[in-house]
Amino acid sequence: MEVKSQIQIPRVKLGSQGLEVSALGFGCVGLSGTFNAPLSHEAGCNIMKEAYNRGITFFDTANIYGDKHDNEIMIGKALKQLPREKIQLATKFGIIVSGHFEIGVKGTPEYVRECCEASLKRLDIEYIDLYYQHRVDSSVPIEDTIGELKKLVEEGKIKYIGLSEASADTIRRAHKVHPITALQMEYSLWTREIEEEIIPLCRELGIGIVAYSPLGLGFFGGKAMVESLPTETFLGSHPRFKRESLEKNKVIYTRLAELAAKHGCTPPQLALAWLLHQGKDIIPIPGTTKVENLDTNVGSVAVQLTTDDLKEICDSVPTDEVAGEREHSALSKYAWKFANTPPKI
């Protein structure tokens, strides 16, 4: 049995600066490829409209998603078909991709402004609701980066400032320059490393947490478990999706599937419901290209779990048994544990 959609998605405060979003967001990266074949702009706009019709108003993109910034361009078209004032749009700057998945980061004030102006133009909008530094530039004092973002807030070009994959020290220093509204981090049943240090810090400072890859890059949605990996994807080279890792991780999926049956829902619904029960300040942003998967994700809002249930679910996915590193090697050196910046002189 599957929990169906047509469910009222609650509205929640994201952080303590006034931003209100749907309790379940929508990650748009997959609409332009990465995990599957890219959708046409018409199809991408349609899935965003379907999400909005189901109560999702919080959409997440970045300037590097898709070939030649395709994702932002597509979302700009979708926004023309939706009530802009009811949408909370997040985009990001800071990652530079060159060559064959060669990754760099940049956080200079000049680059911050250049990226923001370019995103506003591609999206064809007057302001960005939530603007993240996608990865921290460890060569630039965070005060310089946030200082420029603060100016963009004062100019009305962005409303709220976010960080992604930032260390505790970087978060604290950034927050002193201008209040940080949201921190985007990988958080799911098989990636829980932020629970000890980062989540308590965010709650201390009044910063909301946006959980990216809440279904483990689709693993808990059945990717490579009940359906084969798409050929147009980088997942085959991801440490947790390599053949030797998958053989070990199948055990985890099987355990979760058994618990999902017990709760009368699907594995992705149980994985998302577990996240939703971690606190109203944690917003998962699963993405999909299919309406049926969208309905499944929305259905997670209706799954009720007790404290004992949550413990049982956690115990079924011991993080020390997960095979493979959480990030692709190209991004691993920019993970939050390494995201400190030099002192401001």
User: So which residues are the catalytic ones?
Assistant: 65
DSSP 165-189: S--HHHHHHHHHHS---EEEEE-BT
> Any residues with CB less than 8 A from the CB of 15 and at least 6 apart, and which?
160, 179, 180, 181, 182, 206, 207, 208, 281
CB neighbours of residue 206 within 10 Å: 15
Between CA 175 and CA 141, with CA 177 as vertex, the angle to 5 degrees is 95
Query: In the chain, helix, strand, coil percent, each to 5?
Result: 45, 15, 40
β-pairing, 158-164 vs 128-133, is: parallel
**Nearest 5 degrees, angle CA 237-CA 239-CA 240?**
110
With b for 16 or more beta-carbon neighbours within 10 A and e for fewer, the 51-65 pattern comes to bbebbbbbbbbbbbb
First to last CA, the chain: 60
Reduce the DSSP state of residue 116 to 3 states and report it. Answer: helix
**Cα torsion 116, 113, 66, 295: sign:** negative
Rounded Cα distance, 6 and 22, in Å: 14
Residue 223's Cβ-side half-sphere holds a number of Cα atoms within 13 Å equal to 23
Give whole-number Cα distances, 29 to 65, 67, 70, 147, in Å.
6, 11, 10, 28
Q: In which residue are the tokens 């440490």 written?
A: 239
- Going by DSSP bridges, is the β-strand pair 208-212/282-284 parallel, antiparallel, or unpaired? parallel
